[in-house]
């Protein structure tokens, strides 16, 4: 998907910025690795919240609308999931993403370094492959391991059977059996959907999102942790910096009509709402 194809029709040429919040807690991959000691950064409730938020992101891009088709991320992995200072998660890096107007398969070349998040020998990208990768991420969240698994097993997380996988669960973090078993079941369904025709017909990003949401509700876990009650998280532009940069282009932000009348006629004006 090319970014320029999604530019707003009212955006002026060469006067646009791609703005992102700062993610203080880095990526999910490193956060999970840091939980091997006594201090737990991501408890099971936080991990469950993160899982749900990423499922919401996947469901959003997989759901087409009047303006675009289904977006296939193609590169879902724990390194591409970032965490803000309240451990809310975002899915990033859409550089390899593809748009499918029909939701059908798209043939892609093998992606070097991403084999652990893809089923062996499959080069056709479909929504199910995004779900497979998400299933591997869920297993990382449950075990604290990387997608390669352990040196002892020498089997990637995505290829482990249910019995061997459950032996690797971080029980000191996932202290409620029913919770981790439910998440483990969702992960296995995501992973098996690529090879199992019956499962693939019954699984979707919407179903995964709904399944995780039901666990959150049952355990009374917030779906999102608000950063600041006094500010909208969408309004992330630094006001002073915005004003300074606009002035360099001969643009002045005015707060009222009376301010506009006092400005030279040659100056372009943006009236604050």
Contact yes or no for 34/146 (Cβ under 8 A)? no
| Distance, CA of 66 to chain centre | 22
Hey, what are 213's tokens?
A: 């949401």
Q: How far apart are the first and last CA of the chain?
A: 33
CA–CA gap between residue 258 and residue 37 (Å, rounded): 62
Hey, what are 163's tokens?
A: 């019995």
Q: Which residues are catalytic?
A: 75
Q: Which residues pair with 271 in a beta bridge?
A: 254
Contact yes or no for 38/44 (Cβ under 8 A)? no
Phi, psi of 64 (to 5 degrees): -75, 165
Contact yes or no for 134/190 (Cβ under 8 A)? yes
Nearest Cα residue to 28 out of 71, 89, 97, 75: 89
CA–CA gap between residue 270 and residue 202 (Å, rounded): 52
């Amino acid at each position: 998907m090319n970014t320029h194809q999604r530019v707003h029709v009212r955006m002026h040429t060469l006067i646009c910025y791609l703005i992102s919040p700062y993610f203080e807690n880095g990526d999910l991959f490193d956060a999970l690795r840091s939980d091997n000691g006594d201090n737990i950064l991501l408890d099971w409730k936080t991990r469950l919240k993160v899982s749900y938020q990423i499922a919401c992101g996947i469901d959003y891009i997989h759901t087409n609308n009047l303006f675009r088709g289904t977006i296939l991320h193609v590169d879902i992995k724990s390194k591409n999931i970032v965490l803000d200072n309240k451990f809310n998660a975002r899915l990033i890096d859409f550089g390899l993403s593809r748009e499918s107007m029909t939701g059908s398969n798209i043939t892609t070349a093998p992606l070097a370094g991403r084999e652990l998040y893809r089923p062996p020998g499959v080069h056709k990208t479909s929504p199910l492959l995004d779900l497979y990768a998400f299933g591997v991420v869920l297993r990382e969240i449950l075990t604290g391991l990387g997608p390669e698994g352990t040196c002892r097993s020498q089997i990637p997380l995505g290829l482990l059977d249910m019995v061997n996988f459950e032996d690797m669960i971080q029980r000191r973090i996932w202290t409620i059996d029913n919770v981790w078993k439910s998440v483990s079941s969702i992960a296995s369904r995501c992973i098996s959907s690529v090879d199992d025709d019956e499962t693939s017909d019954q699984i979707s990003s919407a179903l995964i999102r709904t399944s995780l949401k039901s666990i959150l509700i049952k355990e009374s876990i917030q779906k999102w942790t608000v950063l600041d009650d006094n500010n909208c998280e969408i309004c992330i532009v630094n006001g002073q910096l915005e004003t300074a940069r606009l002035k360099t282009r001969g643009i002045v932000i005015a707060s009222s009509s009376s301010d506009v009348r006092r400005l030279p006629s040659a100056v372009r004006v943006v009236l604050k709402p």
